[in-house]
Structure formats: structure tokens, C-alpha cells
Amino acid sequence: MQTQTGDALMARILARPIDDEALGQAANDLLDELFGGYPVENLRILLRSGDDDAVQTGAWLLSELGEQAAPLLDEVPRLLAHPRHQVCFHAVEFVLLAADERHADLIAQTLTLSRASDTSIRWKLLNFLAAASTEQLMAGLSRLADPEVGRLTAGLIASDTEDPDPGEVVAALEGDDPMARLFAAAIATRMAEDDAALLRLAARVGDEEVSSFAQWQLMRLQE
């Protein structure tokens, strides 16, 4: 019965036309079915459908399922490169929740999104940089082909194991390099539980992705 319900919801998501409200309700109902035992492998139907709305819904479901959907990590390289930014956004979250040292190439691909021009992707990538484990970052670094992203990733890893130079973090936050600002803001966030001074500075910089993210993190610290 559960499989039949899940299959019916998949068909509804793939149906055309379907309005946003109906699509959202079907997606939420399908998420409940997935948590209840409907096979996550069936999401490949959405992810490979060629329909942007269905692919976006599938990517959102992956980000909600996290580790439960880890068998579908092989779908993520295409999602990270998808032309619809919302798909990439959800894929980054899925990598954060489900990828480990065995998925070094995938983490490296995610790290290179620090060069993205889209503001929503940069914001999500900053969240990844701030929340990823040291082990995830080290795995990604081992496969990075971009020397500048590699240098910044190495600095982020070092901030977990050594005392970072606050002056260097400040210089990056106030500098002209948008990619360096992302990594500096990530360092400030990772340090914030012990000292939020750098995060407060990040909340005041002129880079909207960095400042909005830092403000959000500061509010979370106050909860």
C-alpha cells in the first residue's frame, strides 16, 4: 500500500500541468512516505526526468532526507551543475548532510562553487564552508584542481586545528576578493562559539551574502 501511495505521488509530481500548491503538497506527502519506508532509489525517476520542476523537487527531497538518501549521491554531480539555481542549492545541502571521505570528488566539486556568481548558491556554499566537518574539507581538498580554492580550503582546515590570525581574517573580510570573503566568513562562523567578534565584523561588510549569513548566525548564537 505504501509503495502504491508513493508511486501515485511520484506520478502527480511528474504530471503536467501541476500548480505550485499542488506540487508542494505532493512533495511533502512524498517526503512522509520516504521517511516511512518508500524506497529512496525511486527518486531517480524525478532526478532523471528532464523536467526542471520535478528535478528541483527531487533535489529538495534529497536535502530533507540527508543520510537516508546517501545511495543517491551519485546523482549529485549533475545536480550541482544544473542550470536551475534552486537545484544546485538543494544539492549543496545534500552533500553537507550525506557525503563523507569516500565522496572526495563530490566535495571538491561543491567547494568550487565558491566561484559561483549566483547569490543564493554563494550563500548556500558559505553555509557548507561553515558547517562541513574537517574530514569533509580534507577529502575535498585532496581532489581540488583549482589552486586558489585549494589554498583557501587549506586555510579553512587550518583554522580548525590552529589559531587563525585574526588580522588575516579581517583583511579578507574587508578585501576585494569575494571568494576570500566567503572563506573568511566561514572561519569567523566556526570560531564564533568561542569569540564572535569576527562574525560581528562579517555582519557589517558590504557583501550581502556574507553579511546576511553572519547576521543569521549571530541570531542563532543568541537563541
Q: What is the pLDDT of residues 5-24, one digit of tens each?
A: 999 999 999 998 889 999 99
How many angstroms separate the CA atoms of 33 and 45, rounded?
16
Q: C-alpha distances in angstroms, 19 versus 11, 12, 23, 32, 193?
A: 14, 11, 6, 20, 43
Between helix 208-222 and helix 119-131 the angle, nearest 10°, is 40
Specify the pTM.
Answer: 0.95
Q: In 3-state terms, what secondary structure has residue 89?
A: helix
End-to-end CA distance of the chain: 42
Tell me the three cell numbers of residue 92. Answer: 549543496
Residue with grid cell 569567523, as numbered in its chain: 188
Q: What is the pLDDT of residues 149-189, one digit of tens each?
A: 999 999 999 999 888 899 999 999 999 999 999 999 999 99
| Predicted confidence pLDDT, tens digits, the chain (223 residues) | 457 899 999 999 999 888 999 999 999 999 999 999 999 999 999 999 999 999 999 999 999 999 999 999 999 999 999 999 999 999 999 999 999 999 999 999 999 999 999 999 999 999 999 999 999 999 999 999 999 999 999 999 999 988 889 999 999 999 999 999 999 999 999 999 999 999 999 999 999 999 999 999 999 998 7
How many angstroms separate the CA atoms of 115 and 125, rounded?
10
Asked whether the beta carbons of 139 and 101 are under 8 A apart, the reply is: yes
> Residue 131 is which amino acid?
A
